[in-house]
Chain A
């Protein structure tokens, strides 16, 4: 009967050509790998490999499943969980599920799985082996060259990193000046606040007194500032003509500050020194508009001491930061601590103040370049910064319908080839390869939303290549894009010995 496979027939004479070119004949039941040959001794009863049962050896490969683990039928399809070993001489040996034995489909390249189905299988192992060797060789070459390129990239990245670091420290140095100023102002404030605190601890009354004193102090400071501002010719006196540059001080509101009116403001004198000015100031301060900067509302220093019972003003300021800093697309900022950074102080300054401040520092130290540099330095460009060269670069791939654009560490987009607006397929999210190979996959998230679906996102798979290029794009699931990207940066050090196809030995 067709199905009764005699085990003797099932013993195959296997010719295995190995790289050395010698041949060996090994007898074993059909479908058994050499490594398990010793368990199939035709002279003894067979014990299922899970030890569950022992059966006469003639029930091995008799097309009836006796062992729960399927080990008695390595060469037939009788067991639901069995596996068949293809020797595939000339190529890679492999196991196939035993359900693929004699199903009319050639699975093993040596065709040994279809011994009784009528399917005529060509032995394609040699061809496959050759192709694989070629592919491996090519891959090895690519890896080799790619790895060399990677070394260069690492070197460049190192240099670049150093440059950036030094630029950053330069910036930090010049910023130091600013910081010092900020620090000084802070000290002034804290000094001012110190008595406040003490007053608070003692009693409120003293606090009120102190406030008055403080107000006076502040008033004095302000007045001094105004005096300097008004004293255009810096002769130590404010005169009528100097005062007339501030028409807003006009007492009768007719829009003109006449000589007489100005003189009136100065207490009848033609000009006053700073001490005298102090007495006159109360007449003008309501109307006076500074020539320099409007007071910055967020500035601690200008804060009206009446308005707030003194808390930790500095912290409050830092907390305010979160609300205002919503203009940028960089998620990392969300991770920042509430500790105020010099940079943030800088950013908090009004434009006017910034300009003023810039007079004090290096013109190159624009806050934004500082910020960009800091951001760049903060990126994870891989263990040796080998991915740093991708920063601020973009790579395109044109398909039938679309132009895809990958700007590493920034964003992915898609644009119809023949006109139409660009669609964001995600912004830089994170490295998201498996734990042992984190830098093999990039994830871009929060792209444009899909109708009734998720926001678009893109997974970029990195493979070793000499070129840096997007090689394919696809949308495996609705609005979830997959991009394949080659770069030398992921090339691994080639093994010392050339990879070769091993036979079973």
Chain B
């Protein structure tokens, strides 16, 4: 939900004077009327953000920084070394760590900071375990350290300071090779009086030689009507990284941008600053709701990652060139090179260089630092029906009934801000939601769930318990003068809980207890919107940077705020169940590590084809940096979709991780049955496909949780040497085995699908037609087409008995889709647990099977022998795609199984093997000839 809501809300406020709010509403109405897309003037460009401008004004060249090798200290776990800026003699402290799992961490801070600088807490899941760094050689030019095997070295050059990570003859990555390291040391303000100046001069004699003039905006800056008081002065940091041999870089979400990042020469850098952007524009580097400062580089040789752990406003410049390969020991040659420069407003330089070399390695490395995707309850992978707003209990009941009447499954119905009493979250509107438990029980009876919104802005109202308690506990964010920070949001004047404070988070979590959150029940889950945080009357619609979180400025923690909100909410849902139930929390703002707390979505998009199209790269980019549980509002939030767009969006959303329809308050209703029987049928079919594939989705999330591998993947992740795949972002893989190319163009009659993997095969997931890999396939499409292909060599379990909700399907049998490789083999997995508790983790209560088809035998074996879980589900059918007709099919334990063979499609269907899904079993296919692919 976006900024545009203000109008409606404020005009409501007008009914109860104060006059001022009316005037504001009028002003806003004037300002907002006629806005069709983002009002760029509301958001800063680099030039308007003084630190970005200052840092960007540093041009490549000779770095003033020099390593003082005599200060080098090498312990078992780290190397420290002082750096000096020859221009101002300010010293920095460099720390280098070799981390387990092929990573290098480098930290740079002021040696003697005037005040401590902020170091981001709570993002790393633990202190990353280190491995010993050993000195290989040292001379006056620098030192060489060993990074373990493969002749991998870290070369520290002293004059100017520079780092190179090399492997054999190849430079993998260089730091400060362009001399863009800049560190604005803290300094006393020069105009604050002679006494102070003298004092600081005494303490910091180097100030005498500081040639840097104070620039305008260093101690105060104004954007539009907002002044940032900047009491600590300039504190920005910047660093450059060069990636020889790299032409493709990805990541640093969230931007409405293609998967492959563009160079930023000649325009703004990519910005990372969590903002509530009203009607965002596509294909530009503007900041959006969330930030993950992780950039991935990829070439046919290697995949690497740079994780810039900083929560302040950050800008990322990307440029590329064909560089002289002089760093190589080999003969100089021209190679492509990508240069990346990171700029942040405050904090320290804390960088993790993830050295891959394979995409899966980078995912594992990043997961070892920040954790993996939380394992959602199974039902959260079903379909979610949302709208701003379902008006009352009767509305909820009738929409729920509508799904049954039209035989469309769904798991969650959502309530937006209007459900609460005057936007006082944790309460219910007494007129429209007077009996929440009755409503929730109605959903329990249908084995369905609800999500209610709980935003982090709290109405300032002395009669509102949540406000009263936060105020009395002194847990609100403070303004620069020490009073409670107040801003405008949905409820009117609002306070913002200081979620960086563990005491606040723990109190917030306790609010989700069933006896605290009145009217809540086990099937009520939570949505945290507006957690950038959104402040309607704040600079760039967010919080003032000089607001205070304890001793830290909002400037330091901004991008982290949203993560803390979701963290505290997820903790609350876990605690209310006594630690038994897995939570489900959706958030709009996020940061590195947010994957541990739930799902995110791409915010307030619009009902336009271009927005449908961009949902793919936006979620792919998030998946690359650990956040797999991603989706876009199906149908588009703003505006009203045509029925064609809506159908296509359902078809796309059904194959994206988080599958929720949502709509703006001012749009006409768009429940799936409101567009005529034909479109209803098309939407029904798309949703049913989602439910049939839930076993596969669940498996993918289980694996994402275990390993950090993304659920929704760019093709290059699985085909890292196929250059064709490096820029593809109109199709993607789910896991390894399903390739999806949604139809995202109006009036499409065909799509061209790139099927990767020369020598392999793909099967149309519905017609079972076989196609060769390594080709562009022309696929004619109708309105019912969703081009999906199953990889030859894979086995995917589906549940083909589609019911009202995923919970209703729990005990249903599986159909195995065995898609044979050209070699006549296939492999797949199945994961089953109770679907909603932590027992899979705490008590090892789950089933994890491996299916292998080889030598005309299909067998199921246990992957985790120490697990135990009994499932009622069984195997009702096995389809072998690309099969020969066998003479008989035998289930080892109980004899012959009936089967059909379709000559036209080469599909062999084994009827009702009837084995329990958790059991060991073997199916034997007797053939006149060994079973293999039909050529």
Contact = CB atoms under 8 A, between A and B. Distances in A.
Contact of A99 (B391, B666, B668, B801): B801
A95 interface: no
A451 B8 contact: yes
Contacts of B912: 62-64
A1 B919 CA distance: 13
- Identify the interface centre among A1, A97, A105, A400: most chain B CB within 10 Å of its CB: A105
B111 interface: no
Q: How large is the interface on B (under 10, 10 to 19, 20 to 34, 35 or more residues)?
A: 20 to 34
A63 B914 CA distance: 10
A103 to B, nearest CB: 4
A401 B431 contact: yes
A77 B801 contact: yes
A153 B414 CA distance: 47
Contacts of A367: none
B507 interface: no
Contacts of A416: 15
A100 B804 CA distance: 8
A420 B665 CA distance: 22
A80 B874 contact: no
A64 B912 CA distance: 7
Nearest to A97: B407
Nearest to A98: B801
Contact of B668 (A80, A420, A480): A480
Interface in A1-51: 1-4
B800 to A, nearest CB: 7
Contacts, number: 69
- Identify the interface centre among A100, A454, A478, A480: most chain B CB within 10 Å of its CB: A478
Contacts of B666: 450-453, 478
Nearest to A118: B811
Contact of B447 (A63, A77, A105, A478): A105
B388 to A, nearest CB: 10
B668 A477 contact: yes
Contacts of B911: 64
A78 interface: yes
Nearest to B808: A103
A4 B914 contact: yes
Nearest to A117: B811
B782 interface: no
Contacts of A1: 874, 914, 916
B445 interface: yes
A100 B407 CA distance: 10
Given A64-B876, A64-B911, A99 B802 contact: yes
B445 A105 contact: yes
A420 B15 contact: yes
Nearest to A102: B811
A80 B692 CA distance: 11
B435 to A, nearest CB: 15
A104 B407 contact: no
A325 interface: no
A321 to B, nearest CB: 38
Contacts of A475: 391
A294 interface: no
Interface residues of A, number: 32
B63 to A, nearest CB: 53
A62 B912 CA distance: 10
B802 A80 contact: yes
A476 interface: yes
B431 to A, nearest CB: 5
A13 to B, nearest CB: 27
A2 to B, nearest CB: 6
A80 B7 contact: no
A428 B262 CA distance: 57
A64 B800 CA distance: 12
Contacts of B722: none
Contacts of B877: 64
Interface in A51-110: 62-64, 77-78, 80, 97, 99-100, 103-105
B812 interface: yes
Interface in B626-667: 665-667
Nearest to A420: B15
Contact of A478 (B431, B446, B667, B914): B667
B801 A78 contact: yes
Contacts of B801: 77-78, 80, 99
A81 to B, nearest CB: 10
B803 A100 contact: yes
B682 to A, nearest CB: 16
A78 B802 CA distance: 10
A232 to B, nearest CB: 64
Nearest to A477: B669
Interface string B1-33: 000000110000001000000000000000000
Interface string B843-873: 0000000000000000000000000000010
Contact of B874 (A3, A99, A100, A451): A3
A454 B802 CA distance: 38
Nearest to A2: B872
Interface string B383-423: 00000000100000000000000010000000000000000
A439 B669 CA distance: 26
Contacts of B445: 105
Contacts of B800: 80
A260 B807 CA distance: 112
Given A64-B912, A97-B407, A103-B804, 15 more contacts: A3-B914, A64-B877, A78-B801, A80-B800, A80-B802, A100-B803, A104-B807, A105-B446, A416-B15, A451-B7, A475-B391, A476-B669, A477-B669, A478-B666, A478-B668
Interface of A: 1-4, 62-64, 77-78, 80, 97, 99-100, 103-105, 117, 400-401, 416, 420, 450-454, 474-478, 480
The 6 closest A-B pairs by CB, nearest first: A103-B808, A477-B669, A400-B431, A64-B912, A99-B803, A477-B668
10 contacts: A1-B914, A2-B872, A3-B813, A62-B912, A63-B876, A99-B801, A103-B809, A105-B446, A454-B668, A478-B669
